[in-house]
Structure 1
Amino acid sequence: MKGHTEFQYATMMASQAIREKILKMMLTSHADRKFVVPLRFWGLKGERTTTLRYCEGCLAEWIENQQVPYWRIDHQLAGVYCCVKHACILKSVSKVRSRCYFDQTILRLINDSDERVIKKIVSSGKKAIEDIAKRSAHQQTGGGIGKSTNVYRDMFKEAGFVRAGSQIKHLAVISAWSNYFGQEYCHLTNMTAGRISKLLDRLSEISERFECSHPFMFIAGESFLAHHLESSGAYLPRIGCRALAFAAGREVVAPVLAAFSCNGALHRSADVLEFVQSQGDRWKLVCTCGVSYGMRKAARIDATQFVPVSYEARYRKQFRALIANGVNASCAARELRLAINTANRWAYRERVGDIEALSEREVRKLRSTWRQLVKNAPPERRITGATEANPAVFKELLKNDWDWFCAFNRSQRSPSRTKGLVRLKEPTADQILEAWRGLKSADPPIMVSRSAILERSGFPRIFNRKRPFEAILAELVERRPAYLERVISWLANLASGQRQVDYDEAIQNAGLRRSSFSKEQRERIREIELMSSVEGCSDRECELRADHFI
């Protein structure tokens, strides 16, 4: 039940007690077949792709191996538009399911006219979609209970999306979210600005967990935060892909490993080599002595392609000991078989050579000065601005307090300067549409002008009219004659509500005066006032008013 159904995925955000209760009810036969908690894992509210999805690579493999094709559960999960095994975009069936067949098999429904779920995709967007597929499949096969809201809040804070008052920066998150997933994927999954903002509002609440909420937005949030935490220099393990390509690559490299041995200076007989696959098409060998060897995947693999890329604690500790004993960086590099650049970098961090260490009091004073410089720097370029303001403090801390300096700068790094994160300089299409809907439904009416839309979107100071979003604004901006007609319709609705209305005050609340209307429009407003007064008067008064009009 847990490994071959959607149970683990659907109950990701449920507590352990609710999970056990649902599992017990699923295993028990009930006449009414009703659950205490409604589960919505097949359909995500607002998702544009509602038909069954399949992978051409999986289908070709099944046919080649003479296996009966079937619908993969992980391909039907919300927002999963990529095959984890083949890393290709899924296709959605265009053929309408027939009620004549109980078993809607793949071969019965697929057609040459089936199209890929996502038609246009860039490399950065594909990585995000692949990560969503991996995380969803991992959750469906063996995932446990999802993270609590406190963990999500800490991740947002570490990624630089939280203000000093512990408030999440909605605008920055929405912009970075859209840039990470891409407009088409956000459109297909209905990840609008309002929906993202609603998720952030829920994460800002005190509650620890939301009972059986749909897991898609939380999985997307984990992928988004993992990407930005990795970009800002933090370490987060990636969700592994148990694909056949990895197993096949491992078989190719296995003969080479038998002939390869670690040549680290501190390698011991008990140390062993472990084979791992890193990002993209790169392979890596990690020795327990602390040396990691990188290798690029190629058609022909041999031992000469292994190159040391990093050294761990054992080598760093021995390097420190050699430096403390008076050995210079070059000699220490030869003894430990390190690259000279690595040795120089370590020596620089250890404050060796001609650098004279400052006293603890002086370091504390430099720290305080740097904190104040960063605080006074522009928010969009904190570290750069502080460096330009006082380069001397920057250099002294870099030489004398490397660890604290790097950790502090990473925590204060501006989101706009983070790799992969683009500062929001203009509203997105979703933000513009959301602002337009809000202005259209406002009571009293507000004219849907360019400045009103931008101000409601949070961008009141954009004066350049050559931006890409201006084409959308041109279609949505309301002309003055149309706005005057909308105000007259609003006044008529007020009159039909049989309320006592001060029409002069109502017109003023709409930002207009009677003189703003044409002569014909003013006549219509007077008729609306008379109709309102007739509806609100007694029968005798109505007869007198009718005689007056006659």
Structure 2
Amino acid sequence: MHAYFPTLYEDELLYSWFARYHVHSANVSPKQTMKELFGTTSAVAVPDLPTQLKQVYDRIRHFDIQSLDNLILNHTLFRYYTAFQPESVREKVYQAMVEGNQPGAIHTMTGIAASVVQEWTFLRFCPTCLQEDMQKKGEPYWHVSHQFPGVFTCLKHGDYLCDSTVRYRNTEKHKFVAATKDNCPSIFLQASYSDKTKAFLNMIARQSQELISSDFLFTFEGIQKAYQYLLKEKGFSNINGKVDQKRLAEQFQLFYGEELLSVVQSSVSYENSFCWLKNITRKHRKSFHPLRHILFIHFLGESIETFYKFASKEYQPFGEAPYYCLNPAAGHFKERVITDLRMSLCTDTRRPVATFSCSCGFVYSRRGPDKVKEDKLKVGRIKQFGDVWESKLNKLVHIEKKSLNSAAKELQCDIGTVKKYTTSPTFKDVSIFEESTEDMTSTKQKKWLDLIQMHPEKSVTQLRKIVPALYAWHYRNNRKWLKEHSPKQERKADTLRRVDWTERDEEILLQVQQTINKLYAYDKPIYVNKTRIGKEINQLSFIEKHLAKLPKTKKYIEDHIESRYQFQIRRIKWACGQLEVKGEEIIEWKVRRLAGIRNDVSEEVQIALQTEILNYKAGDQDSKNQTMAF
């Protein structure tokens, strides 16, 4: 057991921590340090994704240090390299870091080994951070935030980072090398990049740090959906998902500039069919370097913190329904009443075109997408004016005797349109257009009654679909009459006998008893609650709505279901038992992971977890004592 281990500093690599231990312990041989840390001399000193960390943790945990989970998340590049990886890869990498002894396999899993974006040749440091560390802590150390690929500036001071003389992948692979004043020459670099490039470099530093500050659970499907949504919203993709790759590459290069893209090894070319920018917009069959995700997300106007929100959003270039009716003749003018929307692509511009159809008969289209609120009140092209509009025009011209100019002004259309409709043969039909309001109502009523006579078997809903404008007119102007003169829905004769709830209670109770026994009998615990029981017996809706009428079933369910707290305790006991069967040590992080217990559980669950582990350890000790006594 170690008698001493140095304090782990904020933002310090585990590699640096182990290197400082080597210096403080005054070990002459690097392999002696390896033996003390890992229990073997064959372990490899890896700066970004170290392995066999459980071996080290078990040897130093008595110093009251952070949990192994926190060490991996906050003091390695695990979060950085797995943020955009599937959950299965994250789990494999995590387990390899805890248990594994093949560091090369991890770099293959994460795609680091095959990435065009190369890691740094030497460990990096900030000269100002170095001086501050010397003053406050008495020694320098390697910072996590200084080692990200593509990060050129210190997030804290804004200075350019410098190369040390310590190789990132040391040729002496079993040796941890601590940061010192000798291997970190204090050379303050002068700004060698444009202000635009440096601003982007600072952005990359901030976003890289953000990746390891939280657990971002991106999935390949979620990443792809978010990119598709943002590309459509920014106009780089049409509503069908086809990306204008040439325009995208041109705008991407103009946005960042060739200087920045070259520096971070992420240049783009439309002519190159294998260009990473083309591939990242398509279906994700492989992983992309986190640096390139950062660049693309920022280009699309978002950040690591906001990107996840777009994984579930559907692109709606004209907003959400209902939409505005822009018929000046309608009583609902500029009200959101339209639900009928059809979309297509403009053949010239490939932009989305929406056709809005209102129940008043007014149909108009507009080319999108809508960018500001005022766009929603614009008409691109009127495809059909409808009966309401034509009736209003008739009233203005033939009844109120207004001039064509006045009618055009009131209906917000061109005078040529008014002339076209007023000179139409059907428009001049006096039987239609010189009727009074009472005559119009009578005409509309007759049309509705004729429609019912023509379709006696149809319901109101079906009739409404045949002549939506006629139904809408009656609904707004003649609702009481419409209700009295519409087909009545016939009630089906109640041929079913009344439910015998006592008998039904007995039947359901038997099913529930069998189901609960089955659920509790599973080897791996299943949460036994009312919803699960209802689903198992295919009676979820019945259980939810009518349980009060089944007193025996209700009481049995209430007596035998478990709370979330009880289920967590059961999972903990199961996990401890599984570890014991496998002959593995029963320690907290293993139990948590196997039982699916989060860090933010209630105090009662935390106490139960600790108690269960202590009980198993006490049992092991008793067993050992009995063996020794025997």
TM over 0.5, yes or no?
Answer: no
TM-score range, shorter chain: 0.3 to 0.5
Normalised TM-score (structure 1): 0.39
